[in-house]
Structure 1
């Protein structure tokens, strides 16, 4: 029986019984001589070829083990828990990624080639995130449809979305913008902040507790980096100017970093996302629907009310869900634009 190791030092990084069980299972499968050498670490930074990881022995650089690269194994993302094999000199080796508690991802390729659904691929933005703060501002870039897609992506990941209206100093009355955010869902928590002036931050800090991982997403220029610096109490993330003409910001955060927040909790600051397409493994490949569509009576069938529609027949027979058909139709509409 392997001795359980659940040091309190890892709790602050978001460790829990689910990761412990997975780690012990991974460790038990290693050769006897290697079991005592490995240790669990969390990915706190991602570069092109290397990863910054943090564990009981502090922070260090690591690389994905060659066996993992050649086997096509899961690539670590910011927030992942991995099994590290220390190396006497140089970067350690990541032997594997532990199963994720949550996966915040988006679909790439949909806008470029919607006619070929197989081209859509997943980009993991962050792993094992508990809360995602969707940051916006009361300016010309305020877009409820885009914010709704953010909310859907966060909910699909398994994390809890929280809406943050930052830069509240831009208007004396923010009720109109807050009212719009309330329309995105009755159960969504909404916080109003002015990060640069330190106003409204107590609501955000209340979400941060030991072991809780919080991520920030939103368009460039909404003040995510300023909010990050305010919560950390130091200039950790670069900030940039906003253009006077359209209130649009530049991408000041170019990589994802996981920070330990003073007083407890962890924070991931993400580069600005102009928009997001929800990643759904069940709808990423519509191969069977494309095969059915080829059997429709009309070549340009929209799969709505046309007679002889093979896709609608499959839906009525219970072979295809209405939700999957709706996603397929959205992709086809984007492809015809």
Structure 2
């Protein structure tokens, strides 16, 4: 894949990420580290978008034991190597994340997303409870949301269905769409600001890949044939990052039957730290090494015991292996 004339700002790089990158470089003075955005993830590998184009990378051993595992949309710091894949050493703090609860805890689907486009259709997919969970998950991760009613021609009462969707959250835009015919695509594109990242989620067969191709202006995502039920078949099998014409990024996600909202019950009893965290530079700050952390600043000023912060981090599952070892001694 080639990425000609790639400008990092066009794919989501901000001054906050620049500051975080500076901190990582200061902590590793012997390494030459360059920023890259994760466009695809393997077991211990990732495809990165860098200033020099698309690059393959492997994870450094220390990263495999770190608190954050890279996901699509993450910004990382990687070391270029001669005749070898780049080596990823650090994941930069996330501004936002789209996550869900799974049996093992929290699964982050994509990171640093500004807008989540929730796609549904009037052909039996309208489930208010499920759509409300989508919206709750988006807001919990810090992103904006929009509801897209695709295949709007399949209902005889489109305005009634649109009103039903608007009632879920009056602050969320609701757009009618016929992605295959190109109707409403320009209105969707207008929601995605320059350099912003949008993610598409929804059930299988709703037309996410068709909309992806329409937004890109090319056949990049595979689409399924429409069967007798007029429903498309699920074709996206992995999260894929696409560069939008004119700036911006789109994440096409595999179909989600439902989503269980990740609720941060571990924050109970740490309301003082949660209040301080509202002033951290990064929304998803782990109060460890991130620059601009209000919690770390409070500890340095003697306003908060470091042991309490460590207990909070342990409750969140953020405690490092070194800290766990110290507690066992």
TM range (shorter): 0.7 to 0.9
Instruction: Render the CA deviation track for 1:161-209: whole Å, top value 9, x for unaligned.
Output: 1000011122343112111101101111001110000001111111223
Higher gyration radius (CA): 1
Count of matched residue positions in the alignment of Structure 1 and Structure 2: 265
For the residue of structure 1 that corresponds to 2:132, the secondary structure is: helix
Per the alignment, residue 144 of structure 1 pairs with 128
Quick check: 1:158 aligned with 2:142? yes
Counterpart of 1:20 in structure 2 is: 18
- Which residue does the alignment assign to 1:221? 205
Instruction: Determine the structure 2 residue equivalent to 1:115.
Output: none
Secondary structure at the residue paired with 2:118?
Answer: strand
Q: What is the DSSP-based 3-state SS (H/G/I as helix, E as strand, rest coil) of the residue aligned with 2:17?
A: helix
Counterpart of 1:312? none
Aligned-pair CA distance for 1:64: 1.1
Equivalent of 2:37 in 42, 53, 58:
42
* Alignment match, 2:99: 105
Q: 1:242, CA displacement in angstroms?
A: 4.2
The CA deviation at 1:268 is 0.4
Task: Report deviation, 1:91.
Answer: 1.4
- Displacement, 1:263? 1.6
Cα deviation, residue 284, structure 1: 9.6
Asked whether the equivalents of residues 102 and 128 of structure 1 are also in contact (C-alpha less than 8 Å), the reply is yes
Does the residue aligned with 2:134 lie in a helix, a strand or coil?
helix
How far is 1:130 from its partner?
0.2
Residue of 78, 83, 101 corresponding to 1:89: 83
Q: Is the 8 A contact 1:106 1:153 kept in 2?
A: yes
TM-score (normalizing by structure 1)? 0.75
Q: Which stretch shifts more, 136-145 or 164-173?
A: 164-173
Q: Kindly tell me: are residues 284 and 237 of structure 1, through their superposed partners in 2, closer, same or farther at Cα, counting changes over 3 Å? A: farther
Q: Deviations over 1:99-138 (max 9, x none)?
A: 00001100012xxxxxxxxxx4111111000000000011
- Secondary structure of 2:255's partner? coil
User: Using a 3 Å threshold, how does the CA distance of structure 1 residues 11 and 275 change in structure 2: closer, same or farther?
Assistant: same
- Greater mean alpha carbon deviation, residues 268-277 or residues 8-17: 8-17
In the aligned structure 1, how far is the partner of 2:146 from the partner of 2:115?
7
Distance (Å, rounded) in 1 between the aligned partners of 2:268 and 2:242: 35
Map of 1:62-211 to 2, 5 A cutoff?
62-69=57-64, 71-109=65-103, 120-211=104-195
* CA distance in structure 2 between the partners assigned to 1:242 and 1:157 by the alignment: 33
Structure 2 unaligned blocks of 5 or more: 270-329
Q: Would you say the 8 A contact 1:220–1:248 is kept in 2?
A: no
**Normalising by structure 2, what TM-score?**
0.76
Counterpart Cα distance in 2 of 1:12 and 1:18: 15
Distance in 1 of aligned mates of 2:92 and 2:252: 22
- Compared with structure 1, are the counterparts of its residues 124 and 170 closer, same or farther at alpha carbon in structure 2 (3 Å cutoff)? same
Contact kept in structure 2, 1:259 and 1:267, CA below 8 Å: yes
Unpaired runs of 5+ residues, structure 1, are 1-6, 110-119, 287-337
Q: Is the 8 A contact 1:46 1:255 kept in 2?
A: no
- More divergent stretch after superposition (166-175 vs 76-85): 166-175
CA root-mean-square deviation? 2.0
- Which residue of structure 1 aligns with residue 275 of structure 2? none
The answer on 1:254 being equivalent to 2:252 is: no
* Preserved CA contact (<8 Å) 2:115 2:192: no
Q: Secondary structure at the match of 1:185?
A: coil
Q: Confirm or deny: 8 A CA contact 1:11 1:211 kept in the other structure.
A: yes
Equivalent positions of 1:171-320 (< 5 A) are 171-245=155-229, 249-282=232-265
Runs of 4 or more consecutive aligned structure 1 residues displaced over 6 Å after TM superposition: none
Paired with 2:207 and 2:130, the residues of 1 have a C-alpha distance of: 17
CA contact (8 A) 1:208 1:264 kept: no
1:59 aligns to 2:54 (yes or no): yes
Q: CA deviation at 1:45?
A: 1.3
